[in-house]
Chain A
């Protein structure tokens, strides 16, 4: 087992999360397993934001849930502050869990409609014994509310009285109540209106600076990920296609999937849009029940060669060493595909 060096807050090593698919008939043969995450390794550094980006079904949410121990791991390991989550005792696990929190896409679904906001935020404080006495708990709840930009008087209100953006702030306050080190943010702004999205993104950045938090920021929006992340991992069909420093991955992508994703993102500027060259990918995501052999991206890749269908490419570092891509042709990609079609 690999233990994380001190600057790493979490280490994921050769993680596999497979879901058996049950047959629709009672005694039928199981049609197989969905390999939602299939051999993923990366570290999360203390104090950073690691952006995890990819399209639906790529396994990004499953990784987030595996870190929180909400999904059973098939094989591989996840360690947090050097401790292997799989081998921790239930007692140790409870303590660790407090330090890893989750923010959901839909804060309404994650809040109990019959619990006032004050009680919802106080619950984890009581559960983990973080403050003693009612007065101290109430003070802490008020403090958390103002930390996320809500009036402390909102304590006695119920979730339905709030807008989507405000509910997301409540979700954040509840996560912060546990005094976590790492927050897994799973599409935290995807359900919000554009003007409110920016408010929540700024709030998350402010809180990180103030409280020294580490974020695993999971999203499908490449512009938001670029904006908020220090490092970025691009996933495709259960594997990491490319990972590295944000600047390097966006300015010099070495995986054809990263390039096509970047070229597909619309940019709010008609002049830029007219001048762009898109790499329009053919076909759709293959079924995770029956992923292609060799490179996962081979069925849609515009530059695949015969070898790609036979052997899965390992992650190899770029010349500068600040990113890694899993593509057999990454060294010649600049001659094959446009880098990123915006000027």
Chain B
């Protein structure tokens, strides 16, 4: 089946060719209909910029300097401003970490939902209001007809995120981009929101790009994952493959740095030494090499391409084949 979204060789740069930040540096991936792609990475890895560029929300000094974004046969990057406005909210929607900054504080919730129905679907009056109530109950807001007249500050963080989701799915988009949708929420509320996203996806057959730093969240939600580091996808594949046998030392490091609830007797975490890389300038080397335990001369001379290492699993490491043996044995040597 043809994927709904195909991104190839996407490059987003902030600043100039030499010293600019290559926030997204030659990124390619696809998302199938109704599929969930988890994009994992730390701050500065380029995961949010990737998400924003999909609906052309990159603002100056950032710009897309290469690649293509194909959404259901149409080239997002070639669209006119009015064409992309038509796509936003109607076919591709996006929700963010902090719903308070995305909601308009001086408009009622009801107005903010009916607005998008009006603009994108031409729905007005009683029909739009009825649909707004339906949407609010869909995202689990109790007594929705009474809450239409409330303002964003009347809602808690979790409730605001529900409102944002209601607005995002108002036009039954075929792709929802969720950028850290539960990061600001408490864990019991996070469980509720993830539940809602799953149910909506089932209901509308919507594809989901879930951008997060939390490996636990993607493990439970994603069909496939892409791990980003320094503006690049460094590992990509089915969620099971990547978690079961990561082939990129960075992914191994992330998993080992995370304390796990189901491992109560783990004595010590194994952090990744050093600090996350800033993707400045051209990189003819592996950006992870300075922090990598198995880096060789080759890693400093040549950037490893993202390549197939086994079915449904790609990694950007010169030594991807050796990662399981090399890192399982050398795990004790990783120093603070």
Contacts and interface: CB of A to CB of B under 8 A. Distances in A.
A281 B276 contact: no
A320 interface: no
B138 interface: no
Interface in A241-297: 246-247, 250-251, 260-274, 278, 280-281, 283-285
Contacts of A166: 275
Given A202-B271, A284-B156, A270 B243 contact: yes
B188 A281 contact: yes
A199 B336 contact: yes
A132 interface: no
A105 to B, nearest CB: 13
Contacts of B42: 193-195
Contacts of A269: 219, 243, 260, 262
Contacts of A273: 216, 219-220
B271 A271 contact: no
Nearest to B44: A193
Q: Which of A196, A197, A251, A278 has the most CB of B within 10 A?
A: A196
Interface stretch (A78-86, A91-99, A221-229): A221-229
Given A195-B254, A197-B257, A227 B336 contact: no
Interface stretch (B19-27, B68-76, B118-126, B190-198): B190-198
Chain A at the B interface: SS class? helix
A223 B261 contact: yes
B172 interface: no
Contact of A284 (B158, B239, B262): B158
Interface string B244-285: 000000000111111111101010111111011000000000
Given A202-B268, A227-B269, A261 B262 contact: no
A118 interface: no
B43 interface: yes
B187 A198 contact: no
Contacts of B156: 284-285
Interface of B: 42-43, 142, 156, 158-159, 186-192, 195, 213-217, 219-220, 239-240, 243, 253-262, 264, 266, 268-273, 275-276, 336
Contacts of B259: 198, 201, 223-224, 226-227
B260 A223 contact: yes
B224 to A, nearest CB: 11
Q: Place the interface of chain A in its size category.
A: 35 or more
A268 B190 contact: no
A266 B186 contact: no
A2 B262 CA distance: 38
Interface in A86-137: none
A247 B219 contact: no
A8 interface: no
A266 B214 contact: yes
B271 A270 contact: no
Contacts of B142: 283
B258 A223 contact: yes
B336 A267 contact: no
A273 B255 CA distance: 15
Contacts of A261: 187-188
A261 B186 CA distance: 10
